C-alpha cells in the first residue's frame, strides 16, 4: 500500500486548518453569498453590524416576523403594513425580516436596517423627532386646549348659580333678614315696569328666588316696578 | 384668558392645517431617499443572458446610472429606449446598469431581444438589492458618482433631459 511521504503530510497538516479557517471566514463574511456562487447582495451586517440577539426559530420566529413586519410600511401600497400586504415587494421584505430574525438580529436592528434604505417612510409609527413630533404633539395640544375651553365655559355658566347660593337666606326660622352684599358682578334684574298687574306677584316671587331679594324688591333701589 | 385661548387655538389649528397640507399635498409613494450622499450598497449580481457576475465596486472611476425595472412595469417600456439611446450616445465614460427584480429571466430576455440593449441587465432574485436601495416601485434610477456615492434618485420613467440633468450631478459639475 502506498503511503504518503513526510512532505505530503506536511501539506495536509497545513491544508486542513487553512481550509477550516477559510470555511469559517466565508460563513461569517458580512457580504453573504445568496444562492448562486459569485453573487452577493447587500446585507444587514454591513449597515447595522453583527446580530445583537439570539437566533429565533419555530413559533417565536413566526410571531416576531409578524410583529416586526407589521411595524414596516409596504412601500408599494397605500397605508398597508408589510405583514398585511400581499404584494411581491412586501413578501420579499417579510422574507428578509424572517431571515434576519433567524440570524439573531433584534427588532431595533431590523427596523434600523430598513429605515437606512427607506427613511422614516418605512416606519408605520413615526418617530418623535423633527416635523414628525408635530403629529404627536398637535392632537394632545388640541385636546388640552379643548379641555381648557370646556372648563372655562362651564365655570362661566356656573357663576350665576354660585351667586344665588351665596345670596340664599340662612334657614334659621325665618326671622332673620337675608344679608345681601352688593356685588358688582351680580346679575342686574331686568326692569319690571311693564309687567302686567296679574303677573306681578309671580314676577316678584321669581325675583326673590332668583336674586334673593326679600319680596322681590331690589334692596338697592327699593323699586318694585 | 379668552384672548390667550383664542391665540393658542389659532396656532394649533394653523399647525394642523400646515401638517395636513404638507402631508396630503405630496405623492404618497414618494420616498425621500436617505441614501443620497452615502456610498451605494455594494452588490455582485449575474447578468441576464450571459450569467457573468457584475460587481458594482469594480465600476468605480466613472459615473454609474443604476436603473431598477421589470417587464411587468408599463412605464418601463416608455423609459427603456431613453436609457438604451443615452447609453449608446454617452459611451464608456458613463456606465449604465439595469437591475430587474420580481421578474422571470425568460421574459427579460424576450424584452431585451425585442427592444434592444446596450448595457448589462442584472437579476435581483429576492429583491434584496432593491430593498437595500430603498426602491419603492419601478422604474427608479439612481445616479452614482465616480467614487460610488449616490448623488441623486429619480422615480418614474426618466426622460433624456432628466437623465442628463442628474448625470451632471453625478459628474460633479
Model pLDDT for residues A92-140, shown as the tens digit of each residue: 999 999 999 999 999 999 999 999 999 988 999 877 777 777 777 888 8
Q: What is the CA radius of gyration of chain B?
A: 20
The terminus-to-terminus CA distance of chain A in angstroms comes to 140
Angle separating helix axes B2-24 and A132-167, nearest 10 degrees: 150
Burial class (CB within 10 angstroms; exposed 0-12, middle 13-18, buried 19+) of A195:
middle
Who has greater pLDDT, B65 or A216?
B65
**ipTM summary value:** 0.84
Nearest one of B144, B136, B133 to B166, comparing CA atoms: B144
Number of C-alpha atoms within 13 angstroms, CB side, residue B164?
7
Predicted pLDDT at A31: 44
Count, residues in chain A? 225
- Nearest chain A CA: its distance from B138 CA (Å): 9
Q: Do B53 and A149 touch (CB under 8 A)?
A: no
Which one of B128, B135, B156 makes the best mutation probe of the A interface by having the most chain A beta carbons within 10 Å?
A: B128
Helices vs. strands in chain B: H and E counts, helices first: 5, 7
Computed on alpha carbons and rounded to an integer, the radius of gyration of chain A in Å comes to 41
pLDDT-derived band at A180, boundaries 50, 70, 90: low
Beta-carbon contacts below 8 Å between A and B: 110
User: For residue A180, what is its C-alpha cell?
Assistant: 345681601
**pLDDT given for residue B111 in this prediction:** 96
In this predicted structure, the answer to whether residue B130 has a pLDDT above a threshold of 70 is yes
| Closest-CA distance of chain B to residue A132, Å | 9
Which cell is B158 given? 426618466
Q: Could you tell me the pLDDT band of residue A169, with boundaries at 50, 70 and 90? A: low
CA distance A61 to chain B (A): 20
Contact B126 A75 (CB under 8 A): no
pTM (predicted TM-score): 0.67
Cβ contact, residue pair A41, B132, below 8 Å:
yes
Q: Cβ separation of B34 and A119 shorter than 8 Å? A: yes
Average of per-residue pLDDT across B72-81: 96
Task: Nearest by CB to B28, from A38, A40, A78: name it.
Answer: A78
Q: What are the tens digits of pLDDT across the range A34-83? A: 445 678 999 999 999 999 999 999 999 999 999 999 999 999 888 899 99
**What percent of chain B stands above pLDDT 70?**
96
Instruction: Inspect the interface and report whether the beta carbons of A75 and B45 lie closer than 8 Å.
Output: no
Task: Please answer yes or no on whether A117 and B34 come within 8 Å at the CB atom.
Answer: yes
CA distance A130 to B15: 14
pLDDT of residue A1: 39
Please tell me the predicted confidence (pLDDT) of residue A102: 97
Amino acid at each position: 500500500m502506498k503511503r504518503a511521504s513526510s512532505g505530503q503530510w506536511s501539506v495536509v497538516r497545513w491544508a486542513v486548518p487553512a481550509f477550516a479557517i477559510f470555511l469559517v471566514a466565508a460563513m461569517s463574511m458580512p457580504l453573504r453569498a445568496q444562492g448562486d456562487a459569485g453573487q452577493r447582495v447587500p446585507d444587514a451586517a454591513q449597515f447595522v453590524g453583527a446580530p445583537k440577539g439570539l437566533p429565533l426559530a419555530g413559533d417565536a420566529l413566526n410571531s416576531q416576523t409578524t410583529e416586526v413586519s407589521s411595524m414596516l410600511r409596504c412601500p408599494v401600497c397605500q397605508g398597508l403594513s408589510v405583514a398585511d400586504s400581499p404584494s411581491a415587494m412586501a413578501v420579499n421584505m417579510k422574507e428578509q425580516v424572517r431571515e434576519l430574525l433567524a440570524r439573531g438580529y433584534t427588532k431595533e436592528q431590523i427596523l434600523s436596517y430598513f429605515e437606512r434604505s427607506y427613511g422614516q417612510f418605512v416606519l408605520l409609527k413615526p418617530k418623535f423627532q423633527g416635523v414628525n413630533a408635530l403629529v404627536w404633539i398637535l392632537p394632545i395640544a388640541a385636546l388640552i386646549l379643548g379641555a381648557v375651553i370646556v372648563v372655562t365655559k362651564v365655570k362661566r355658566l356656573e357663576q350665576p348659580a354660585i351667586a344665588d347660593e351665596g345670596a340664599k337666606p340662612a334657614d334659621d326660622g325665618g326671622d332673620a333678614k337675608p344679608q345681601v352684599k352688593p356685588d358688582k358682578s351680580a346679575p342686574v334684574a331686568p326692569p319690571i315696569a311693564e309687567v302686567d298687574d296679574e303677573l306681578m306677584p309671580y314676577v316678584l316671587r321669581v325675583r326673590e328666588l332668583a336674586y334673593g331679594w326679600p319680596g322681590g324688591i331690589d334692596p338697592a333701589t327699593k323699586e318694585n316696578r | 384668558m379668552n384672548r390667550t385661548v383664542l391665540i393658542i387655538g389659532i396656532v394649533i389649528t394653523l399647525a394642523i392645517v400646515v401638517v395636513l397640507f404638507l402631508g396630503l399635498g405630496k405623492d404618497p409613494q414618494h420616498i425621500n431617499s436617505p441614501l443620497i450622499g452615502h456610498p451605494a450598497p455594494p452588490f455582485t449580481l449575474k447578468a441576464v443572458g450571459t450569467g457573468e457576475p457584475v460587481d458594482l465596486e469594480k465600476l468605480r472611476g466613472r459615473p454609474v446610472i443604476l436603473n431598477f425595472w421589470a417587464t411587468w412595469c408599463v412605464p418601463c417600456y416608455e423609459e427603456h429606449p431613453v436609457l438604451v439611446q443615452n447609453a449608446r450616445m454617452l459611451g464608456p465614460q458613463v456606465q449604465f446598469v439595469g437591475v430587474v427584480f420580481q421578474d422571470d429571466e425568460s421574459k427579460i430576455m424576450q424584452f431585451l431581444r425585442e427592444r434592444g440593449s446596450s448595457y448589462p441587465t442584472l437579476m435581483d432574485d429576492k429583491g434584496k438589492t432593491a430593498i437595500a436601495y430603498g426602491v419603492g416601485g419601478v422604474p427608479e434610477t439612481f445616479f452614482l458618482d465616480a467614487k460610488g456615492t449616490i448623488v441623486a434618485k429619480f422615480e418614474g420613467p426618466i426622460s433624456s433631459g432628466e437623465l442628463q440633468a442628474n448625470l451632471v450631478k453625478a459628474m460633479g459639475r
